[in-house]
Amino acid sequence: MYRFMSEYDYVVVGGGSAGCVLANRLSGEHEVLLLEAGEPDEAREISVPIAWVELLRGEYDWGFRTVPQPELHDRSLHLAQGKAVGGSSSINAQIYERGHPSDFDRWASAGNEGWSYESVREYYERIEGGELPGYGTDGPQRVAEQDGPSPLSEAFVDAAVECGVPRLDRSEVRHAEGAGYTHVTQKNGKRHSAADAFLRPALDRPNLSVETGAEVREVLFDGTRASGVRYVQDGETTRARATGEVILAAGAFNSPKLLMLSGVGPADHLRAHGIEVRADLPGVGRNLQDHLITWVCYESGTGDTYDDADSWPNALRYLLLKRGPFTSNGGEARAYWRSESGLEAPDVQFLFAPAHIERNGLAETSGPAFSVGTSLVRPESRGRVTLQSADYAADPVVDPQYLTRDDDLETLVRGVRKATEIAEADALSPYRGDRIFPSERGEEALVEHVRENAVTYYHPVGTCRMGADEMAVVDDRLRVRDVDGLRVVDASVVPTIPTGNTNAPTLAVAARGAALIAGDD
Ligand SMILES: Cc1cc2nc3c(=O)[nH]c(=O)nc-3n(C[C@H](O)[C@H](O)[C@H](O)COP(=O)(O)OP(=O)(O)OC[C@H]3O[C@@H](n4cnc5c(N)ncnc54)[C@H](O)[C@@H]3O)c2cc1C
């Protein structure tokens, strides 16, 4: 038995996209403690939309790495994850996409009751706010149009249409279909993170406590019932009791890590690290899915690219008016494409940036250019997260096993070929100079290009999958199997990865998860 310092109805672990939604909804009626390992989201780079790339590898990024990936020439990829109030929603590229309706219908037809698109749509409408037709209008999460996209982004949409992708109306809801501008989580020219949308408005409630710099190291149990957590803050260890439930919202790498450190996971793996087994759940850490993205890039000399976006006039314009290129998230337009006929949903997303992008902007860049990213949005490959040791300080071992299914490589290569077709369509010709890469485009050269350049699109999900089978970690009410008083509510519970960017689906999962916990689903 532990001596607890304080007592709450619910203890939420992680103040990211999902954690902020949970804290907001549950503190309506209950005593809630939200524990976030990162610091407050006060850096200017967090609020200025275009600056998100500068946050990568810094103090607001957990900075995980994959193990070397054999199908990517043994490269080890940097896997950013937000470590701040707002979590990954405080460092992400702000693209708002609901996913494809069939994504959710797949979850439901796998036996997860209440997760069809029809059911989840209501939660989207509850969380969305703003003036864009088709979305919810009264919810806290602002969904906005690009403020002043580059003319190149418009030309990209025209080019995609020229190459057979249906055009989306400028204000159509962003399902994973068609070509159009990206919609973004922004308000008045600034990032509107989950913390801005859900946490800040609840902060003055007396029954919501938020602790930052608070690293949860273990879920505590009385028998099989989760009774609280042990966390370390400023070098001091504290125990907080949850009389209701402990809810893990620590993201796709740290939620399974915390379960395993607490004795919930594959028994043989836990024993190998000397961890006492509380519940043998072989699926913890399995089913890791992520989107890979790889870019084609062309010179562009018209002055409409963002290579000098950080100029003084642009900075001043942003400072005074919150307008101009600083309000751009970089990825201003996108198009979805079915790489084969007969697919129920697109399997490729093209993302357009009026800039020179190599490996998500992290490589050295030079000169005015535009880039088209090709992302594999319905991958078949599945990876895993395991423990390096029983020590909390050790990063989890992340092995996404990218492209281990042949189909994935073939689809990505078909996509890259299509990306060059779009980039070389007439609509982009006024803006297009020489191709920078890939330098060749025979089949072998494109395979090589993918293996050498593909990187993560930062969308890991699935490592505490919901379901009813042996390998499921949570049930369709997001309760961890074989124990009581413990749920996981974040991107880890997603059974199959959404066809588009993962923030909005995670917010919807959390909104429904919160309703299930509060009993008003
Ligand atoms: C660089 C980047 C760009 C992205 N771009 C987009 C985009 O444009 N559009 C989109 O839809 N999606 C994007 N995503 C993905 C999207 O942001 C995530 O899918 C989503 O935020 C996941 O939400 P989550 O709640 O599961 O995890 P997170 O938001 O990552 O939250 C987890 C939180 O738990 C905290 N935590 C972890 N361990 C502990 C612990 N032991 N104790 C206490 N707290 C802990 C973390 O610090 C973090 O705050 C991007 C992600 C990244 C990293």
- Choosing from 438, 453, 468, the residue where a domain stops is 453
d(CA 432, CA 81): 34
- Whether ligand 1 lies within 6 angstroms of the CB of 279 is answered as no
Question: Which numbered atom of ligand 1 lies nearest the CA of 217?
Answer: 41
User: How many residues can be counted in the chain?
Assistant: 521
8 Å CB contact between 216 and 259: no
Both tokens of residue 91? 């460092």
Same domain, 329 and 433: yes
> What is the model's pLDDT at position 191?
98
> What is the model's pLDDT at position 363?
58
Q: How far is the CA of 294 from the centre of ligand 1 (A)?
A: 21
Question: Which numbered atom of ligand 1 lies nearest the CA of 460?
Answer: 19
- Choosing from 453, 472, 490, the residue where a domain stops is 453
Question: Which numbered atom of ligand 1 lies nearest the CA of 331?
Answer: 8
- DSSP string covering 413-434, please? HHHHHHHHHHHTSGGGGGG---
Same domain, 341 and 423: yes
**Does residue 409 lie in a domain region?**
yes
Same domain, 158 and 269: no
**Does residue 266 lie in a domain region?**
yes
CA distances from 269 to 69, 225, 388, 390 (A): 22, 22, 10, 11
Q: How far is the CA of 58 from the centre of ligand 1 (A)?
A: 15
> What is the model's pLDDT at position 2?
58
- Whether ligand 1 lies within 6 angstroms of the CB of 88 is answered as yes
* φ, ψ (nearest 5 deg) of residue 281: -115, 95
Same domain, 410 and 308: yes
Q: What is the pLDDT of residues 208-252, one digit of tens each?
A: 999 999 999 999 999 999 999 999 999 999 999 999 999 999 999
Mutate to test the pocket of ligand 1, among 100, 502, 507 (most ligand atoms within 8 A of CB): 502
d(CA 170, CA 183): 9
- Whether ligand 1 lies within 6 angstroms of the CB of 215 is answered as yes
pTM over 0.95: yes
- Cis check: omega of the bond before 438, within 30 degrees of 0: yes
Of 20, 189, 182, 171, nearest to 89 (Cα)? 20
Mutate to test the pocket of ligand 1, among 455, 458, 487 (most ligand atoms within 8 A of CB): 458
d(CA 335, CA 337): 7
Q: How far is the CA of 16 from the centre of ligand 1 (A)?
A: 6
Both tokens of residue 220? 């505590």
**Does residue 395 lie in a domain region?**
no
- Whether ligand 1 lies within 6 angstroms of the CB of 195 is answered as no
Q: What's the domain range around 235? A: 1-98+194-288+460-521
Question: Which numbered atom of ligand 1 lies nearest the CA of 215?
Answer: 42
Q: Which residues are catalytic?
A: 459
Same domain, 200 and 330: no
Q: How far is the CA of 338 from the centre of ligand 1 (A)?
A: 28
**Does residue 385 lie in a domain region?**
no
d(CA 220, CA 241): 9
Of 252, 251, 246, 194, nearest to 33 (Cα)? 246
d(CA 86, CA 97): 18
Q: What is the pLDDT of residues 152-195, one digit of tens each?
A: 999 999 999 999 999 998 778 889 999 999 999 999 999 999 99
Per-residue pLDDT at 362 exceeds 60: no
CB-count burial class (<10 Å; 0-12, 13-18, 19+) for 232 = middle
- DSSP string covering 369-416, please? EEEEEEEESS----BEEE-S-S-TTSPPEEE--TT-SHHHHHHHHHHH
Same domain, 175 and 205: no
**Does residue 426 lie in a domain region?**
yes
- Per the prediction, the chain carries an average pLDDT of 96
Q: What is the pLDDT of residues 410-458, one digit of tens each?
A: 999 999 999 999 999 999 999 999 999 998 889 999 999 999 999 999 9
8 Å CB contact between 332 and 170: no
- Whether ligand 1 lies within 6 angstroms of the CB of 490 is answered as yes
Q: pLDDT over 90 for what percent of the chain? A: 92
CB-count burial class (<10 Å; 0-12, 13-18, 19+) for 280 = middle
Residues 303-341 as b or e (16 or more Cβ within 10 Å = b): ebbbbebeeeebeebbeeebebbbbbbbbbbbbbbbbee
Of all protein residues, whose CA lies closest to atom 37 belonging to ligand 1? 250
Of 114, 115, 117, 112, nearest to 101 (Cα)? 117
Domain count of the chain? 2
> Hey, CA dihedral for 91, 95, 100, 104, is it positive or negative?
positive
Question: Which numbered atom of ligand 1 lies nearest the CA of 85?
Answer: 49
- Whether ligand 1 lies within 6 angstroms of the CB of 251 is answered as yes
Q: How far is the CA of 151 from the centre of ligand 1 (A)?
A: 31
- Whether ligand 1 lies within 6 angstroms of the CB of 38 is answered as yes
> What is the model's pLDDT at position 490?
98
- Whether ligand 1 lies within 6 angstroms of the CB of 504 is answered as yes
> What is the model's pLDDT at position 240?
97
| pLDDT, greater one: 153 or 3 | 153
Q: Taking each helix axis as running N to C, give the angle between helix 117-127 and helix 101-109, from 0 to 180 degrees, rounded to the nearest 10.
A: 130
> What is the model's pLDDT at position 365?
61
d(CA 415, CA 229): 46
**Does residue 325 lie in a domain region?**
yes
Same domain, 373 and 473: no
**In 10 A of CB 439, how many CB atoms?**
8
Same domain, 332 and 421: yes
**Does residue 109 lie in a domain region?**
no
Residue 303: pLDDT band with limits 50, 70, 90: confident
Per-residue pLDDT at 147 exceeds 70: yes
Same domain, 312 and 409: yes
Per-residue pLDDT at 391 exceeds 90: yes
Read off the pLDDT of each residue in 365-386 and give the average, rounded to a whole number: 94
CATH code of the domain in which 480 resides? 3.50.50.60
d(CA 241, CA 370): 53
Same domain, 161 and 304: yes
Of all protein residues, whose CA lies closest to atom 41 belonging to ligand 1? 216
Of 93, 174, 190, nearest to 132 (Cα)? 174
Per-residue pLDDT at 345 exceeds 70: yes
CATH code of the domain in which 331 resides? 3.30.410.40
**Does residue 206 lie in a domain region?**
yes
- Whether ligand 1 lies within 6 angstroms of the CB of 173 is answered as no
Same domain, 373 and 416: yes
Helix, strand, or coil here: 249? coil
Contacts of 337 (CB under 8 A, 6+ apart): 165, 346, 347, 348, 349, 350, 415, 418
- Whether ligand 1 lies within 6 angstroms of the CB of 191 is answered as no
**How much is the CA Rg of the chain, to the nearest whole Å?**
22
Residue reference for tokens 């949005």? 377
- Choosing from 420, 437, 453, the residue where a domain stops is 453
Same domain, 300 and 371: yes
Helix, strand, or coil here: 324? coil
Q: How far is the CA of 427 from the centre of ligand 1 (A)?
A: 36
Q: How far is the CA of 251 from the centre of ligand 1 (A)?
A: 6
8 Å CB contact between 294 and 454: yes
**Which regions of 103-213 does DSSP assign to beta strands (E)?**
128-129, 141-142, 179-181, 186-187, 190-191, 208-211
CA distances from 338 to 4, 158, 447 (A): 54, 18, 19
d(CA 248, CA 237): 19
